[in-house]
Amino acid sequence: MSEDDRTAADAPRLPPLLDAVLEVGTDLDLRATLQHLVTRAAELTGARYGALGVLDPAGGPGRPRLTELYTTGLPEGTRDRVGRLPDGHTGLIGTLIDDPRPLHIADLTADPRAHGLPPGHPPMRSFLGAPVPVGDAVFGNLYLTEKAGGAFTDEDAHLLRVLAAQAGIAIANARLYESARQRERWIEGAAAVTTALLAGGTADALETVAERARVLADAAAGVILQQAPGGGLEAVAVAGPAGFVGRGDTGGLWGAVVPPDSPVLGRLLAGEPVYVADAASDPRTASPATVRFGPVMMLPLTSRGRLIGTLALPRHRGSRPYTPVERSMASRFAAHAALALVLADAQARRERLAVYEDRDRIARDLHDLVVQRLFATGLLVESTRRRAERTDGSAAGVADGGAAGEVREELARAVDELDATVQEVRTAIIALQQPPTDAPTTLRGRVLRETAGAAAVAGFPPSVRFVGAVDARVGDPVAGHLVAALRRALGAAVRRAGVSRIAVTVDAAACLADGRPGVRLTVQDDAPAAENGTGTGGTALTWHSPL
């Protein structure tokens, strides 16, 4: 048929072809574009079944293999019964991969190349195939079968070639758009990891990196491996979907080991990434923990030549392989995350150092305070002793009840000073015993944390006094209510103008008005009368609860 005859024959079908080209080119989502292409190709040629096989974009030695298959016309459930993707090494699929030119067959059952169909595949006779070019490379192949009313014609083949060529432009645009979106997501993810780690709000930095990378890579799991004591690498952090995180149900990944004699270990220790097409069958990675995984990226986390760990991102077996863009962006993410981990660790060390320096200051202040109080109390007791000796030595002094009362008052003051000194020493010891990076678990520690927070706002530390066995007597529910009341009282006190002193007392040996044992919280400040609204200086809040 001449070119003029072909054009005349195709003229009635040009509007549907133009509509198909426009529909394929309007969606920037790559997978939606590919599904539109195979659907419209089947409609345009009158095929009952259609498929688009995508070739491995990463290439590799030997014949390219199929990585994705988009279909149309297959009854529901047939695709699942057919099973895994064809390998592309046999049959007409392999023929089109080897020789990417349009292929037209009237009867598949009579062609020796048409073999290797899996069980459950629907019967087919007529066949039309054509490559989908993107630039100078072949992106994939279109396969159409079972034309309504007979065999495919040369006009069908011509229309399919035109559609495939135009679709190649749309696919190239969609791939560029998808690559740009992927790069944007990876860059945003790396920035989010850095922010989270440096903010210090994450309980486990390694699991934070693993989870963020898993989401960005659309992987089945994110695993961080570090060097094991006996050599090799051991999984120390695992992130995945709900119910597949941490040390619990991790599908055997937690604690999985890359042995010292593994071929991939040397490359990882040298800071080189490792990409595996099928972890379940590759001898380098095959193990009981990887039987359900396919494509895997193993990326070293290095900073200044030091290996912090390895980030592994496995996908389920049969999933699409990682593209060159995903490999490149994941490697950059790993380098960024490694730097963030180093910075976060340095920041945590600086914060611990600041805590230890503050504890040194507290120890020095405590030493000075205790010495001063004990010295002053010693002078008071010595003076009282001498007065008592003078009183005992004179008859008038013995009869003088007023002098004896003064002696008792001074001794009581000395006892109070010693008691206050002991309480302040105990408070300081509790504060020093609290781990710098852990939240306090005892009531004493929680009270001290609240007063320390108020000190940062007020500009001076409130005084704290504990009476009785606070931690032993006050249970969790009451302790929670007490801390909440303390927080409200301290917040109100620091907001009052003119406050220069706040005193907090927690009395676990208190007796309530009805005679029951209880705990009493008292928060008192020295707010001026105009501020507290009582007409007298100072504001006090008292909270109590039965034990």
Q: Which of 87, 128, 94 is CA-nearest to residue 108?
A: 128
> What are the domain boundaries of the chain?
3-180, 206-322, 346-438, 440-547
How far apart are alpha carbons 20 and 212 in whole angstroms? 39
pLDDT by position in tens, the chain (length 547): 444 454 444 555 556 666 666 666 666 777 888 888 888 888 888 888 888 888 876 555 556 677 778 888 877 666 565 555 565 556 677 777 777 888 888 887 777 776 656 666 677 888 888 888 887 788 888 888 888 878 888 888 888 888 888 888 888 888 788 888 888 888 888 888 888 777 765 447 888 888 888 988 889 888 888 888 777 888 888 887 644 444 444 456 777 788 888 888 888 888 889 898 888 888 887 777 777 888 899 999 888 777 888 899 999 887 888 888 889 898 999 888 888 888 877 777 777 777 777 767 766 666 666 667 777 777 777 777 677 666 655 544 444 556 666 776 777 777 677 666 666 666 666 555 555 545 567 888 888 888 887 887 788 888 888 888 888 888 888 888 898 889 888 888 888 888 888 999 999 888 888 888 889 999 998 887 655 555 445 667 788 888 7
> By the 8 A CB rule, do 423 and 466 touch?
yes
Query: What's the chain's length in residues?
Result: 547
CATH of span 206-322? 3.30.450.40
pLDDT number for residue 398: 46
Q: Looking only at Cα atoms, what is the longest distance across the chain?
A: 147
pLDDT number for residue 24: 64
How far apart are alpha carbons 341 and 207 in whole angstroms? 11
Instruction: With H, G, I as helix, E, B as strand and everything else as coil, classify residue 462.
Output: coil
Contacts (Cβ under 8 Å, ≥6 apart) of 289: 251, 252, 253, 256
| 360 CB neighbour count, 10 Å cutoff | 10
- Are the folds of 3-180 and 206-322 the same? yes
CATH of span 3-180? 3.30.450.40
Q: Which superfamily, per CATH, for 440-547?
A: Histidine kinase-like ATPase, C-terminal domain (3.30.565.10)
DSSP structure class, residue 533: S
∠ at Cα 545 (544, 547), nearest 5°? 135
pLDDT number for residue 90: 61
Instruction: Extract the tokens encoding 504.
Output: 């907090």
